[in-house]
Amino acid sequence: MSTTKQQYRAELISGIRVLADFLERHPTLPVPHGLDVMAFPEPDASYATRCAEIDRIADAHNAELRDQDGHHTAHVSFGRVSYHLVAISDEARARHDALMSYLDSVALETATHADEQVNKPLDIPTADVYGRQCPCGALTDKGARLCRKCRSRGRWNRRKAPYRDEEEQW
């Protein structure tokens, strides 16, 4: 183990002991329901190598092994404190990355923005602002006598009119 890894390990263990002593000295402070410590062996190694390392450690310490959905784990409990060794396959990481790529695609409205939308009056054009009213009741474009739907229906009827006369003759 390199000096930096040994130093990091010593600092982490020391910090855990300091936390335990601090919580013991201050019994009125709230404590978490439990504590889960996760470790990932050799992140640069292959998935098979990481799984083999976890299996070796689990055998040596009677840890509970689990292999599910690309996560190979060993678990040791000390009451409400748990130690987990985890190896994640490249496929599981790719699935997670794909799922998280949609994270910014959905934006929920805040309550204040939704309230503003509910209380905002509808902007419905009136006949005097938009145009006048068609005989069918719809609003027309400015300068037009009929709405778009009635104009379209009129064009259709004019195109079909010559054929209608021929059908009636037969």
Give 67-109 pLDDT, tens digit per residue: 999 999 999 999 999 999 999 999 999 999 988 888 777 776 6
Percent of the chain surpassing pLDDT 90: 45
* pLDDT score recorded for residue 94: 92
Query: Of 9, 65, 134, which Cα lies nearest the Cα of 1?
Result: 9
3-state secondary structure of 55: helix
Token pair for residue 110?
A: 């805040």
* pLDDT score recorded for residue 167: 52
Write the CA distances from 21 to 14, 32, 81, 101, 107, integer angstroms: 11, 15, 15, 42, 43
Query: pTM of this prediction?
Result: 0.55
Dmax over CA atoms of the chain, in Å, equals 107
* pLDDT score recorded for residue 143: 77
* pLDDT score recorded for residue 151: 85
Write the CA distances from 17 to 8, 14, 76, 124, integer angstroms: 14, 5, 18, 68
Domain coordinates in residue numbering, the chain: 1-31, 33-89, 127-169
* pLDDT score recorded for residue 81: 92
* pLDDT score recorded for residue 170: 44
Residues of the chain with pLDDT under 70: 1-2, 108-131, 161-170
**Residue 149, φ and ψ in degrees, nearest 5:** -65, -45
Residue 140 class from Cβ within 10 Å (0-12 exposed, 13-18 middle, 19+ buried)?
buried
Count CB-CB contacts under 10 A for residue 132: 14
* pLDDT score recorded for residue 130: 59
